Amino acid sequence: MTDGGVTVSPGQVLVFDADDTLWENNVLFERVIDDFLAWLDHPTLDRVAIRAVLDDIERANAAVHGYGSRVFLHSLGECLERLRQRPVTEAERREIQELAVALVEHQVELMPGVADALDELAGRHALLLLTKGDREEQQRKLDASGLLHHFQAAHIVAEKDVDTYRWLTREHGFDPAAGWMIGNSPKSDILPARAAGMNAVFIPNDNTWVLEHDELDPADPGVLHLTAFPDLLKHF
């Protein structure tokens, strides 16, 4: 459903994604990739071709190693090895690590209106947080965000698939039909939540990681499409 006059009754369970829903995240990785491509300066392949190679490597590594900056750095090194057809030197490895310093040192930047919206929503509904990735890395961002007090529970998982959402409904004892997954990723937030019987709210982010893209059914009555986080207050 699109952003119409839908209003949800009180007492729902709202489950929030974190990266690129509550705060900016992937734009930082995109900046590192831009710097990596400029530094690489490949003699024959353009940026689009190199990015395709990197996407394939990231997809394979995510399936085996999960998510986060450490896996990302490994993927950059593997991409360099594949393109130059030789092992990465120590100097090159240090250069890649320096390119990615911002991923660790960057301060959490909340999306506009997130803190105020969560404060109001917490008075009407049960709020949970569900994020995937490296546990230490995600916990650091959660702690730095100043948002944890809004949530009855926060879960960091290795992957967000149908089984994860089924587990979540059992863990917190709520009817999936009374639950709403709120996020920017069709692949990790919307589609698996719907497959588990939950409703979903899709709030797109222009910087969503390409591997999180997927097609949504625009006619699905269980998906609410919004344009900005504070729009949740019109419906919940």
- What's the pLDDT tens digit per position in 7-46? 566 689 999 999 999 999 999 999 999 999 999 888 889 9
Report CA 97 to chain centroid distance, whole Å: 22
- In angstroms, the first-to-last Cα distance of the chain is 15
Q: What is the pLDDT of residue 33?
A: 93
Q: What is the dihedral of CA 101, 105, 110, 112, to 10 degrees?
A: -60
With contact defined as beta carbons under 8 Å apart, do 186 and 215 qualify?
A: yes
3-state percent breakdown (helix, strand, coil) of the chain, nearest 5: 50, 15, 35
pLDDT above 70 (res 207)? yes
Q: What is the pLDDT of residue 195?
A: 98
pLDDT above 80 (res 67)? yes
Q: Report the chain's mean pLDDT, rounded to a whole number.
A: 93
101's CB contacts (< 8 A; 6+ apart) are none
Q: Please tell me what DSSP assigns to residue 67.
A: S
Separation of alpha carbons 62 and 28, rounded Å: 18
| Domains of the chain from N-terminus onward | 13-23+108-234 (3.40.50.1000), 27-105 (1.10.150.240)
